[in-house]
Structure 1
Amino acid sequence: MRNPLLARLAAGCRAKLRHLKADRRGNVMMILGFALLPMVFATGFGIDYNRAMKLKTRMNAAADAAALAAVNVKMMQQPDSAAVAAARAMFNAQVTGLQGMVYDPTNPNNPTVQIVSTGGSTPGGP
């Protein structure tokens, strides 16, 4: 046995869908409404990706500077541990000040980097 209330609701929904399918007014607004969510998502993704790439570039530059600090003439005459310590100190000094991320160098073999929101400012700041 079918429930008469559900049958009337289903028939009403089918009739409404047929009416919406046949109606050609306002199609641009419907398309815009459906496209708005992916457009907002894509814009936000693009902004986040740009911020992450800027931070990555700055971290790569800091790693390059740290490597150069460890292989200068003065460091080449000292033990390897002094060069490693100089490279870590140089990297930590340059990366710690970057805006948009939290850098935790407490474990030197596996430092923790976390990207955080800066409230609209650009990473690295002016």
Structure 2
Amino acid sequence: MTQTVLLRLARKGRSLLRRLRHDRRGNVMMILGFAMIPMTFGVGFGVDYTRAMKLKTRMDAAADAAALAAVNVTAMQKDDATAKEAARKMFNAQVAGLNGLLYTSGANNPEIVITSDGGVNSGRTV
């Protein structure tokens, strides 16, 4: 039963391809079909790039806030370790609310992992 249905569909598909190959009126459809492949990649790249730039802007703002926390009047009157700790705390507080970003604070080697909610495993480690 299913083989006959599949054979019938295969014959219709071959017939359709044969007609499309010999028909010169549908060239616009064919060109549009081939153009959809790079357009799909372009749209995907644009979405990914926009998301990455948005996350980068927020991380830059967190770094700026941390730098300002380290050089404010009260931090300047204390030692360097206290200023560094204030900057680290400010950065951790700012980065904690970012979606798609996991930040592990280490003394010498902080680790930033950017994750995605999509179906493709696109996590990156910096």
TM-score, length basis structure 2: 0.72
Distance 1:29 1:104 in 2: 51
Q: Quote the residue 2:69 is aligned against.
A: 69
Superposed CA offset, 1:77-125 (max 9, x none): 11100000000010011102101222222x3333222222235xxxxxx
1:30 CA displacement: 0.9
Where in structure 2 are the equivalents of 1:87-98 lying within 5 Å?
87-98=87-98
- Say which structure, 1 or 2, has more relative contact order (CA 8 Å, 6+ apart): 1
Q: Compare CA radii of gyration and give the structure with the larger one.
A: 1
Question: More deviation in 95-104 or 52-61?
Answer: 95-104
Provide the alpha-carbon RMSD of the alignment: 2.2
Q: Quote the residue 2:84 is aligned against.
A: 84
Change (3 A) 1:46 1:108: farther
Q: Is the 8 A contact 1:99 1:118 kept in 2?
A: no
Distance 2:44 2:35 in 1: 15
- In the alignment, residue 80 of structure 1 is paired with which amino acid? D
- In the alignment, residue 107 of structure 2 is paired with which amino acid? P
Count of equivalent residues:
101
Q: Quote the residue 2:109 is aligned against.
A: 110
Q: Percent identity between the aligned chains? A: 67
Distance 2:101 2:36 in 1: 30
SS at structure 2 position matched to 1:69: helix
TM-score, length basis structure 1: 0.72
Gaps of 5+ in 1: 1-19, 120-126
Where in structure 2 are the equivalents of 1:24-43 lying within 5 Å?
24-43=24-43
Distance 1:57 1:108 in 2: 24
Gaps of 5+ in 2: 1-20, 119-126
Distance 2:67 2:29 in 1: 56
